Chains A and B, each alone.
Chain A
Amino acid sequence: MNDLENELSRFLVDAAERAPRVPAGLSATVKARHRRRRARSAALLAAVAVVVVIGGAGVAVNAVRTSVAPQPVANATDKPTGRAKPPADVIPPSIEKVWPQAVHKIPATLPDGRDYYPELLLDDRTLLVITGITGGKRRFLWSYDLHSGKPTRIAEIPLTKGSQSFADDIAAGDGNIVWWAFKEAGKNQVAQIWTVPVRGGTPRPVSDVPMGNATKQLGQITDLTVVGKNVIFAYEKGGVYRVPLSGGQMQPVKGAERQRILQWPWVGAHRVENGFAELFNAETGERRDAVVAADEEVRCGVIRCAGVKVRYEKVKVTCTVKPCTDKVKQKRVILRSFVRNRDGSGERPLPDPTLYGPTDLALERFFKQILHGPRGESVMALYDVETGRMADLGLRPDAKGLISIPQSQLDALMTYSIGDKMYVLDLSTIE
């Protein structure tokens, strides 16, 4: 190594010491986000950069077509726009003022002091929570009454002996809660689906579920759904199955052998590009294909698709060093971002900038945005594409400048904590 290289090497090691420290609870945060994002995990893992080499100089160019997080732009014309420059935004009123009916502010710990993680809404006043994720060895399910603030223990989740794994992908419906676990610690060939009534009781296994055979891995269990007296689930790699809650053999759902569940009974192919653009109803057979142009990348829900219109163009690279060999590279230009109904109607532009782009929508309707306050501070806001209204979630960067980001799901629940309060939003109450 020459002098510069030596210097650079030493400098990078020194500079690395200025890195931020690991925030407390990082592992728990990651695991919580993992659970919430489970439905998207297959797509994300597949979304590693694809590199395309064009031009004689061997310029490596990213030409990834991914809809994981397209970049939205401000206007709705077909002209490419530059990076959004933010003067101070108008900060909307707090969510308690804008949509008071949607907000439940509850203590961020249970009355006995233990941490909990909100899983789902059992009904409009009852939150299903799990405790013991951080630290504790025993994990419990609780129903939490959002009106009285009273938690009621439902059951202890039996841990697979010798395994540290715990209930993941918890689902509930028609009075029953379900989850799955590996049957034996250290082996991931067979899973078990478990259930317990919402009113409490002793959890019992419903059925064994093979995770693969000698030649094929099916991926883990995902998209768990309770429908009447059945559990329905999909493998991450596709394939929808049904098993009675009372036990018995799992049966493939006809026509959905390669599908994932968007929202039962709607199933479709779960792809990185144009995910769930084609849907069909596994109960009635009705098809519901989305209108998608060739130059669009969308992500669809049951009623709407959100996405971007893109153009790939060759751009000349301005070099700073002679001799310059980089001549041309291919650039993905976002022309506009939009949300519209699956049939193509009712299109409207998305605001700029939505946090993770058009894919990050809650209940197919609400987008998170970071606004810029008068002092340059970041303000996390929630934007309703149906009414155009916006509310300040109250989240601000911490002392390290990190801002926590609530997850968006297809269901109505959005949660986040500020200080010792947990904000539980029921987005379905918003007219």
Chain B
Amino acid sequence: MDDEPGFDRFVAEQADALLRYGYVLTGNPHDAADLVQETLLRVRGAWSKVRRKDNPNSYARITMARLHISIWRRHRREHLTGDPPDRVGHEVFPLEKQQRLWEELSALPRRQRAVLVLRYYEQLTDAEIAKVLGISPGTVRSQASRGLDKLRSSLSPSPATHGSPR
């Protein structure tokens, strides 16, 4: 048995929002669903503590970010990207520019992408991001600026900077 009052309600209220966050973090629906389920599993495991001490929602979101950049996720994801092509073609955006932005975001190293998502989707400060990801604020800044640079150069119409070598 477990001390779980409120867990169902938490899932009912927050799962959609967590999936949205997971989707922009991971860039595809499969990994988002995986990430959310794994996160909820951990939230469930720590529920009595989380409910008592922390805000479950913020605990879940921090767990998602950490899981996403952790080696555990990376391995799983690498494994799954070698997997079925059935995710190809899911992410098609109406505007070419949006499509390009999405593809560029997908091409970023996952830490850079995580920093950008935490900054511009979660609206966290660099200090908060540093704490969540366990890196220094200086690294947050440099990762963010590098990520933005890549997006900027690829979104720029100049053919000279588009598609820089990788």
Contact surface of A with B, Cβ cutoff 8 Å: 4-5, 7-9, 11-23, 26-27, 29-31, 33-34, 37-38, 41, 44-45, 47-51, 53, 58-60, 62, 64, 66, 68-71, 83-86, 160, 163-169, 179-182, 185-186, 188, 191, 220, 318, 320-321, 325, 332, 353, 355-357, 370, 372, 376-378, 397, 400-402
Contact = CB atoms under 8 A, between A and B. Distances in A.
A29 B37 contact: yes
Contact of A86 (B40, B44, B82, B146): B82
Contact of B69 (A30, A49, A71, A160): A49
B71 A64 contact: yes
A4 B46 contact: no
B11 A26 contact: yes
Contacts of A7: 101
B24 A15 contact: yes
A188 B139 contact: no
Nearest to A334: B75
B67 to A, nearest CB: 8
Nearest to A191: B1
A8 B145 CA distance: 13
Interface string B9-27: 0011001100111111000
Is chain A's binding surface mostly helix, strand, loop or mixed? Answer: loop
Given A49-B70, A321-B164, A401-B86, A8 B78 contact: no
Given A33-B41, A64-B70, A4 B152 contact: yes
A241 B155 CA distance: 63
B128 interface: no
Interface in B104-127: 111, 116-117, 120-121, 123
21 contacts: A4-B151, A4-B155, A5-B148, A8-B101, A22-B11, A26-B37, A44-B42, A47-B72, A49-B70, A51-B133, A60-B136, A62-B71, A66-B71, A69-B72, A86-B83, A165-B1, A188-B48, A320-B165, A357-B75, A377-B86, A401-B29
A5 B120 CA distance: 7
Given A27-B7, A51-B133, A15 B69 contact: no
Contact of B71 (A29, A49, A320): A49
B83 A378 contact: yes
Given A5-B148, A321-B150, A372-B84, A68 B72 contact: yes
Most A Cβ at <10 Å: residue of B15, B32, B84 = B84
Contacts of A17: 20
Contacts of A21: 16, 19
Given A49-B69, A53-B135, 12 more contacts: A4-B152, A11-B98, A19-B16, A26-B15, A27-B11, A31-B4, A38-B45, A182-B2, A355-B79, A378-B86, A401-B29, A401-B30
B152 A320 contact: no
B24 A16 contact: yes
A34 B41 contact: yes
A256 B136 CA distance: 41
Chain B interface size, under 10 / 10 to 19 / 20 to 34 / 35 or more = 35 or more
A27 B164 CA distance: 44
Nearest to A17: B20
A376 B86 contact: yes
B146 to A, nearest CB: 6
Given A58-B138, A64-B72, A378-B86, A49 B66 contact: yes
Contacts of A15: 23-24, 93, 98, 102
A335 B65 CA distance: 28
B149 A321 contact: yes
A351 B44 CA distance: 32
B96 interface: no
A19 B23 contact: yes
B159 interface: no
Contact of A353 (B37, B79, B138): B79
A27 B5 contact: no
A45 B44 CA distance: 11
Contacts of A34: 2, 41, 44-45
A48 B121 contact: no
A12 B70 contact: no
B1 A179 contact: yes
Contacts of A49: 66, 69-72, 134
A20 B19 contact: yes
Contact of A20 (B7, B23, B85, B135): B23
For the complex of A and B, the 5 pairs showing the least CB-CB separation, nearest first, are: A19-B23, A181-B1, A49-B70, A16-B20, A27-B11
A427 to B, nearest CB: 23
Interface in B145-163: 146, 148-153, 155
Nearest to B29: A20
B2 A20 contact: no
B82 A19 contact: no
A26 B152 CA distance: 38
B139 A165 contact: no
Nearest to B15: A22
B40 A26 contact: yes
A70 B120 CA distance: 32
B5 A83 contact: no
A318 B109 CA distance: 12
Contacts of B40: 26-27, 30
A30 to B, nearest CB: 4
Nearest to B65: A49
Contacts of B76: 69, 356
Contact of A30 (B20, B41, B149, B153): B41
